[in-house]
Amino acid sequence: MTRDTQHITSDTVPVDESAGPDAVVSARELTRTFGDFTAVDRISFDVGKGEVFGFLGANGAGKTTAIRMLTGLLSPSSGSAIVAGHDVATSPNLIKQQIGYMSQRFALYDDLTVKENVRFYGGVYGLRGSELKDRRHAMLRKLGFEHLEGERVGGLPLGWKQKLAFSVALLHQPSVVFLDEPTGGVDPVTRRQFWELIYEAAGQGTTVFVTTHYMDEAEYCDRVSIMVDGIIKALDTPGRLKTDFGVDSMNDVFLQLARGGKRS
Amino acid sequence: MSPFRSFVIKETRHILRDVRTLTVLLMLPIVMVLLFGFAIRTDVEDVRLIIVDPSSDVRSAELVRDFNATPAFRVEKVLPSSSGAEDLLRQGKADAVLILPIDFARSFERGTAQAMVLTDGINANFAQAVSNQAEAVIGRWQAGHSGQRPLIATAPRMRFNPTLASENLFVPGLLAFVLTLVSALMTAISIAREKETGTLELLLVSPLRPLQIVVGKVTPYLLLAFTNAITTLVVAWLAFRVPIEGSLVLLLASSLLYVLVALAIGVFISTKSADQRAAMMATLLALLLPTLALSGFVFPISSMPAPLQVVTKVVPATWFIRIVRGIMLKGIGVELLWKELLILTGMAAFLITVSTRSFSDRLDG
Amino acid sequence: MKTVGEHAAPASVRIDGLGKSYAGTPALTDIHLQVDPGELFGLIGPDGAGKSTLLRMLVTVLLPDTGTASIDGLDVVKDYRAVRRILGYMPGRFSLYPDLTVRENLEFFASVFGTTVAEQYDFVAPIYSQIEPFESRRAADLSGGMKQKLALSCALIHQPRVLILDEPTTGVDAVSRTEFWDMLDRLKADGITTLVATPYMDEAARCDRIALIQDGRLLGQPDTPAAVAAALGHPLIRVSAAGSRPALLSVLRGVPSVLRAEVFGSWIHVTGKDHASDAASDRLREEVAASLTTAGWSEALVESVAPTVEDVFMARMGGPGSGQAA
């Protein structure tokens, strides 16, 4: 049984009741235009507490723009989004206090040590003194990186850097953390260890909003949305998407949906 | 199309498409000439003058009257003695003090009269100009009393810059500075940028030889530097009537020579720099700063301590400025400037060899 | 497409004992491999494995500390100028000129090799035609997939006999990746020998032969993807169950004869400690099923599965499968 690809608007996407009124991230007809180019076209979704939400799409589909709006970096042209209880259009600065962010390119400072990075980012989010110290110790102990405290981050293997960056993003205990291709280029073992960290965070109630180009990682998510040419063409659990499209893997789901995309 | 030609075209496109930088580079000579020109005030107007006239006789009265009638000066006070005159100068209530000799009439008859002009030496160029103007006024007065030996107006006594050198006319130094900026700095940055973006790797993998890459890269900047040289001279002439007494051809040829030196240094610096920032800092420190401070452009070489004077000999701009000053102000040519030209040529040959050798066709040199 | 130039056979690549260190730290140690003429060869490994260093030595922009390498019989050190003429190279990041247009970039690289776009159009058309509608667009404004196509066109514009690609599909979405490999298949049909470095294990399946690389060394012997995968040496099964994955993993890792358990998409791959054999797989299946039932997962699916290159890579690279820190 194959479902024809449909344009899914806010009318057809079921507002997921499982996310409940306490959705941590909530978008309604969120739109962003640049001149006469619509990068993000009326997307809507709800992400609940502790959910691992995969935000997929081809390059140029509008993912980065959408994430920038949700993290308060870009104001929407129309529509609305509430993140961690705050409106992205009116209170972007309040949002930033409540969220964590990590991307492949912008993670930690290579020329600072692990400890210095933690101090810096902790300080930025208002953590100080003994509280910061305790959290730092706890984080390093969990990762097994205590012996790396004084090491320059730049000298560490990529996989360790990514794990550290993720943990640092969680230091201030945000309600939602945005991860932009966090495992690019990382070896398969470390990649999985990273995802185990994600599960742990989700299990403790942190909502994880992640984008990735690894389609097997799409399977690890609770629900997945796929953006094509600025609109969300599919939003469901990996299992249901695979059934609907009659395929075995998220890779095939993606190929079917994104192949028609004009922006790539 | 030959690789070289397409290289030059590509580089030109880069330069033209970076509109902001291009605007700065083209406007730079114009802005700097105007800035320096107006800041230095070679026009002397309405100078507040205190005349110290101890003799107060017929002759001195005539001179005072002449100074009063000159628009360049505004006689604030005529004092009987020099006490208090220097204070007024120090307090900024006067710009210059003219001290006439005691028993002026008699010493003038005998031809031993000496007058002195005191100015604030901080602005050395202004002081020089005031002194020149005062000399002119005195000279004109003297002409009315022909047959006398000229009064000697001593060189202005400088408060804070006692060894003012008259080489301090700014256009030659400015020329050196602008040429260095465009040739060395922009070239270094351009090559370092290719390293940063990774396109250099692709160039190295191609059949292009290092020399082709280097020459292709620097040619547009050579043309740009030349344009700037001409702009500088034209603006200096239009705004301030700065003359070129000697051969324009020799001047441009020397500029070209200097540009080659600067380009070679730019290339060399880029081969040692990992990224644009490093290239920029290195060029600033190693070349631009010495060009400003150690070439005779801003600070006279003769007033520097001996070790620094030795260092100035290594700065290419030192020789270039000498050549340009000679051509522009004294109107001399190759016959008197051959030594400087030879040195600059030697520098060019040496630096071009070193820089092309150091431009490796591998990533790790 | 036309076939490659007037040269007869496609070129081969030989690497013998190649090694390189940076400031005392070895980046590559004792690499031996061979790419046969016309082959599509994959160098599979994560960031930091040494892929870029190896490729840079092949394209003659880095000098090896030890060992030799040759392309079509030409030594990469001694005959490097000749090597450069027959090579096409796509470096690691997008390394074209962002402020030049698509067309201008291609024209430039064509002329650098002494040819023009017009002359070579037929050769690069299958790839270039896809971005030709955008030929006046600045390279910086292209999407990831289009940048790849442009970079590939520039690498091919002089009809090289060997194509060396350093992570051409990194950071690019799955659709573009698939299309890119389709293009590589077509190039192979034209007789161009291709060496691709990639961190994506699933792309290994599209190569004729592969070599796994980690920490500057090859893991195992280069071989076809199937042969590499089959050489896991341990029984492999996969498990699927509803419920908490971390909990499931923890149960599986606690099973005595389990060597490692890792998530693989919607399944969990479980490797046994025994040597590979059908009997060993059966034993593993039974033991795992039993443990799951005891732990409360009575509905779990447990089945045999053919190993993938990724399974082999993880087994070979060492490191824990039990979730402990590095």
Return the axis-axis angle of helices B187-197 and B248-272, rounded to nearest 10°.
Answer: 30
Q: Is it the case that residue C6 has pLDDT exceeding 80?
A: no
Joined together, the tokens standing for residue A263 give 């922006």
CB distance from B332 to chain C under 8 Å? no
CB distance from A49 to chain C under 8 Å? no
Distance from CA of A184 to the nearest CA of C (A): 7
Chain C residue closest in CA terms to A158: C47
Largest separation between any pair of C-alpha atoms in chain C: 72
Which DSSP string do the residues of A51-96 spell out, in sequence order?
Answer: -EEEEEE-TTSSHHHHHHHHTTSS--SEEEEEETTEETTT-HHHHH
**What's the ipTM?**
0.81
Per cent of chain C over pLDDT 90 is 60
Buried b vs exposed e over C256-276: b needs ≥16 C-beta within 10 Å?
Answer: ebbbbbbbbbbbbbbbbebeb
Sort B23 into a burial class: Cβ within 10 Å, 0-12 / 13-18 / 19+. Answer: exposed
Asked if B14's CB is within 8 angstroms of C84's CB, the reply is no
Asked if C214's CB is within 8 angstroms of A264's CB, the reply is no
Residues 6+ apart with CB under 8 A from B59: B104, B105, B108
Asked if B14's CB is within 8 angstroms of C89's CB, the reply is no
Contact C210, C41 (CB under 8 A): yes
CB distance from C97 to chain B under 8 Å? yes
Cα(C167)–Cα(C197) distance, rounded to whole angstroms? 5
Instruction: Show the CA angle centred on residue C321, arms to residues C316 and C326, nearest 5°.
Output: 90
CB distance from A156 to chain C under 8 Å? no
Confidence of residue A6 (pLDDT cuts 50, 70, 90): very low
Asked if B202's CB is within 8 angstroms of C92's CB, the reply is no
Asked if C63's CB is within 8 angstroms of B205's CB, the reply is no
From the list B208, A93, B228, A203, the residue with the least C-alpha distance to C109 is B208
How many other CB atoms are there within 10 angstroms of residue B314's CB atom? 11
User: Which secondary structure element, helix H or strand E, spans residue A163, and what is its range?
Assistant: helix A158-170
Chain B residues 191-220 with CB within 8 Å of chain C: 197-199, 201-208
Asked if B2's CB is within 8 angstroms of C89's CB, the reply is no
Which DSSP string do the residues of B85-130 spell out, in sequence order?
Answer: HHHHHHTTS-SEEEEPPTTHHHHHHHT--EEEEEE-TTSHHHHHHH
CB distance from C85 to chain B under 8 Å? yes
pLDDT digit string, tens, across residues C186-201:
999 888 999 999 999 9
Cα(C105)–Cα(C321) distance, rounded to whole angstroms? 46
Torsion of the alpha carbons at A223, A227, A231 and A234, rounded to the nearest 10: -40
Q: Which of B89-103, B296-310, C72-86 has the highest mean pLDDT?
A: C72-86
CB distance from A143 to chain C under 8 Å? yes
User: What is the pLDDT averaged over residues B146-151?
Assistant: 55
CB distance from C104 to chain B under 8 Å? yes
Which of C175, C246, C310 is closest, CB to CB, to A254?
C175
CB distance from C25 to chain A under 8 Å? no
C249 to chain A: which residues are within 8 Å by CB? 196
Asked if B198's CB is within 8 angstroms of C61's CB, the reply is no
Chains that touch C (3 or more CB pairs under 8 A): A, B
* pLDDT value for C97: 93
A143 to chain C: which residues are within 8 Å by CB? 325
User: What is the pLDDT averaged over residues B104-109?
Assistant: 79
Q: How many CA atoms lie within 13 A of A77 on its CB side?
A: 15
The residue whose two tokens read 């001279």 is B233
Higher pLDDT, A60 or A254: A254
User: What is the pLDDT averaged over residues C110-122?
Assistant: 90
User: What is the pLDDT averaged over residues A29-55?
Assistant: 93
Chain A residue closest in CA terms to C200: A185
* pLDDT value for B101: 83
Joined together, the tokens standing for residue C188 give 């192979």
Asked if A192's CB is within 8 angstroms of C173's CB, the reply is no
Distance from CA of A188 to the nearest CA of C (A): 7
Asked if A216's CB is within 8 angstroms of C265's CB, the reply is yes
Asked if B205's CB is within 8 angstroms of C89's CB, the reply is yes
Confidence of residue B334 (pLDDT cuts 50, 70, 90): confident
Confidence of residue A8 (pLDDT cuts 50, 70, 90): very low
Asked if C62's CB is within 8 angstroms of B362's CB, the reply is yes
Asked if C326's CB is within 8 angstroms of A160's CB, the reply is yes
User: What is the pLDDT averaged over residues B183-201?
Assistant: 88
CB distance from A258 to chain C under 8 Å? yes
Chains that touch A (3 or more CB pairs under 8 A): C
* pLDDT value for A1: 31
pTM: 0.79
First to last CA, chain A: 28
Asked if C325's CB is within 8 angstroms of A145's CB, the reply is yes
Contact C37, C11 (CB under 8 A): yes
From the list C228, C214, C314, the residue with the least C-alpha distance to C264 is C314
Cα(C28)–Cα(C66) distance, rounded to whole angstroms? 10
Confidence of residue A7 (pLDDT cuts 50, 70, 90): very low
In chain A, beta strands by DSSP E:
25-34, 37-47, 52-57, 78-83, 86-87, 99-103, 176-180, 207-211, 223-228, 231-236
CB pairs under 8 A between B and C: 76
Which of A188, A203, A219 is closest, CB to CB, to C265?
A219
Listed range (A115-129, B160-174, B228-242, C124-138) with the worst mean pLDDT: B160-174
Torsion of the alpha carbons at B331, B337, B343 and B349, rounded to the nearest 10: 70
How many other CB atoms are there within 10 angstroms of residue B12's CB atom? 15
Asked if C325's CB is within 8 angstroms of A144's CB, the reply is yes
Largest separation between any pair of C-alpha atoms in chain A: 59
Confidence of residue C100 (pLDDT cuts 50, 70, 90): very high
Give the SS3 label for residue B365.
coil
C321 to chain A: which residues are within 8 Å by CB? 189
Which of C85, C95, C100 is closest, CB to CB, to B13?
C100
Asked if B18's CB is within 8 angstroms of C112's CB, the reply is no
Assess whether chains C and A touch, using the rule of 3 or more C-beta pairs within 8 angstroms.
yes
Confidence of residue B33 (pLDDT cuts 50, 70, 90): confident
Residue A4: DSSP 8-state? P
CB distance from C140 to chain B under 8 Å? no
Chain C residue closest in CA terms to B212: C112
Map out the domains of chain B as residue ranges: 47-159, 166-364
Higher pLDDT, C171 or C108: C108
Give the SS3 label for residue B207.
coil
C-alpha separations of A166 from A100, A182, A189 in Å? 9, 8, 16
CB distance from C262 to chain A under 8 Å? yes
Assess whether chains B and A touch, using the rule of 3 or more C-beta pairs within 8 angstroms.
no
Listed range (A195-199, B137-141, C142-146, C302-306) with the worst mean pLDDT: B137-141
User: Which secondary structure element, helix H or strand E, spans residue A197, and what is its range?
Assistant: helix A188-203
From the list B113, B116, B129, the residue with the least C-alpha distance to B85 is B116
Q: Is it the case that residue C264 has pLDDT exceeding 80?
A: yes
Confidence of residue B365 (pLDDT cuts 50, 70, 90): low
Which of C62, C89, C99 is closest, CB to CB, to B202?
C89
Q: Is it the case that residue C54 has pLDDT exceeding 90?
A: yes
Which of C170, C174, C244 is closest, CB to CB, to A254?
C174
Asked if B206's CB is within 8 angstroms of C112's CB, the reply is yes
Q: Is the dihedral of CA A117, A122, A124, A125 positive or negative?
A: positive
Chain C residues 64-83 with CB within 8 Å of chain B: 81
Cα(A204)–Cα(B130) distance, rounded to whole angstroms? 82
Instruction: Show the CA angle centred on residue B134, arms to residues B129 and B135, nearest 5°.
Output: 95
* pLDDT value for A258: 82
Task: Please give the backbone phi and psi of residue C228, each rounded to the nearest 5 degrees, phi first.
Answer: -60, -45
CB distance from A138 to chain C under 8 Å? no
Task: Please give the backbone phi and psi of residue C25, each rounded to the nearest 5 degrees, phi first.
Answer: -95, 125
First to last CA, chain B: 29
Confidence of residue B149 (pLDDT cuts 50, 70, 90): low
CATH number of B47-159: 3.40.1710.10
What's the 3-state SS for C162-199? EEEEECCCCCCCHHHHHHHHHHHHHHHHCCCEEEEEEC
Residues 6+ apart with CB under 8 A from B42: B125, B129, B240
* Helix runs in chain B, H state only: 3-17, 19-40, 58-69, 85-90, 104-110, 124-143, 170-180, 187-197, 199-205, 210-240, 248-272, 276-283, 289-293, 306-312, 316-325, 334-358
User: What is the pLDDT averaged over residues A211-239?
Assistant: 91
Distance from CA of B354 to the nearest CA of C (A): 21
Length of chain A as a residue count? 264
From the list C230, C164, C174, the residue with the least C-alpha distance to C200 is C174
Contact A113, A149 (CB under 8 A): yes
Best of A34, A55, A59 to disrupt the C interface by mutation (most C CBs within 10 Å)?
A: A59
Chain C residue closest in CA terms to B195: C95
Contact C72, C12 (CB under 8 A): yes
Chain B residue closest in CA terms to C64: B364
Q: Is it the case that residue C243 has pLDDT exceeding 60?
A: yes
What's the 3-state SS for chain C? CCCCCCCCCCCCEEEEEEEEEECCEEEEEEEEEEECCCCEEEEECCCCCCHHHHHHHHCCCCCCCEEEEEECCEECCCCHHHHHHHEEEECCCCCCCCCCEHHHHHHHHHHHCCCCHHHHHHHHHHHHHHHHHHCCCEHHHCCHHHHHHHHHHHHHCCCCCEEEEECCCCCCCHHHHHHHHHHHHHHHHCCCEEEEEECCHHHHHHCCEEEEEECCEEEEEEECHHHHHHCCCCCEEEEECCCCHHHHHHHHHHCCCEEEEEEECCEEEEEECCCCCHHHHHHHHHHHHHHHHHHCCCCCEEEECCCCHHHHHHHHHCCCCCCCCC
How confident is the prediction for chain C on average, in pLDDT? Answer: 88
The residue whose two tokens read 């794990």 is A163
Query: Strand A223-228 relative to strand A231-236: parallel, antiparallel, unpaired?
Result: antiparallel
CB distance from A187 to chain C under 8 Å? yes
A226 to chain C: which residues are within 8 Å by CB? none
